[in-house]
Structure 1
Amino acid sequence: MDPSHIQEISVRVVILIISTSRTEKEDTTGKAISSLLHSSSIPVIRTKVIPDDIEKIQVALKESLEEVNCIILTGGTGITHDDCTIEAVEPLLEKRLDGFGELFRMKSYAEVGTRTVLSRALGGVIDGKAVFCIPGSKNAAELATREIIIPEILHILTHASR
C-alpha cells in the first residue's frame, strides 16, 4: 500500500458491548478488543455494556460518534430472536463496507467452518467515522480486531474523512 495514501489520523475508539446477560465485570470480549487496540497504540476512550435493544444501541452509538472516530460494537450480530445490533446500526450507515463482513467471514471460515454463515458482521461509515459490528465471541472479536480493524483503520478513516 502506498503510504502517501494514508493520513496521520489520531484514532480514538469506543467499544460497545451489546449484551443483556453480561455486565462490564463479566465481559471478556470488550477487554480483549481493548487489549489488542492498546497493544497497537490505539486509545480506547471507554467501553460500555448496552442491552440488546435497538433504541438503546442507537443512542449509545450516536453519543459515541460525538467523542471518537471509530466505534466497535461487539455482540448481537447473530440470528437469535434478541440479536438486533445490525438492525440498530445499518439504517444509520451512510456508507457500507461490504468487504469488511465478507473478509471477516472468509477469515472466520478457516477457524469455524460453515458456522460462519450465522455471522452478520458489518462495517460502515457514519459522518466520516468508522463503525464495526462484530460478533460477541471473544475469538471472533479478536480475529476481526487483529486481522482487519487494526491493519485497516487508518486507511478507512483517511477515505471516510475526505
Structure 2
Amino acid sequence: MYKKYSREDQKALATWAANCAERVLTLFEKTVPSDNRPRKAIEQCREWVGTGIFSMAVIRSASLSAHAAAREAPIEAARYAARAAGQAVATAHVPQHAFGAAYYALKAMAAADSANAKANVAREWEWEAGQVPENLRDEVLKRVVIQPTKKGISIKIDKSGDF
C-alpha cells in the first residue's frame, strides 16, 4: 500500500494546521467567549504531535466538538474559525485534513472583513505558505487554490489526482 505522507510529514502538517487554525481562533472566541471547544481541538492536535499517542475516540471527539461549535456560532467568520480547529485536530487521523484547516482559516479571514477579503486572504495565504515545511510546500501550493472572482475571491481545495 502506498502511503503519501510519512509520520513526520503528518506531524509537520498537523503543526502547520494547528498554527493556521490558531491564527483565526480569536474570530471565534470574540464571538462565543464561553465556548472552548475549538481551542481544545487545537490543544489536542498539539498534544498528539508532541506525544505521538493516538486515540481515535479522543481525536474524533475533539474534531466533532469543534465542528458542533461551528454550527452553533452566530456569524460566518466564527464558524469558519471553529471548522479550522476541527480540521487541524483531524490531521492526526488523515494528513489531508491539514488542507482543510488552512482552507477554513482563509475563509474565516475573508468572512471577517468582506470589504478587504482579497488583501486579507492574500496576506494570510502568504503567511500560511511560508510556514509549511519546505518538503511539503509544493503539495500545499497545488492543493489550496485561491482565485479572484467577479464577486470577490474563491478559495478551494484541489482534491484531484492522488489527494
TM-score (norm 1): 0.33
Higher relative contact order (CA 8 A, sep 6+): 1
Name whichever structure is richer in strand by fraction: 1
TM-score (norm 2): 0.33
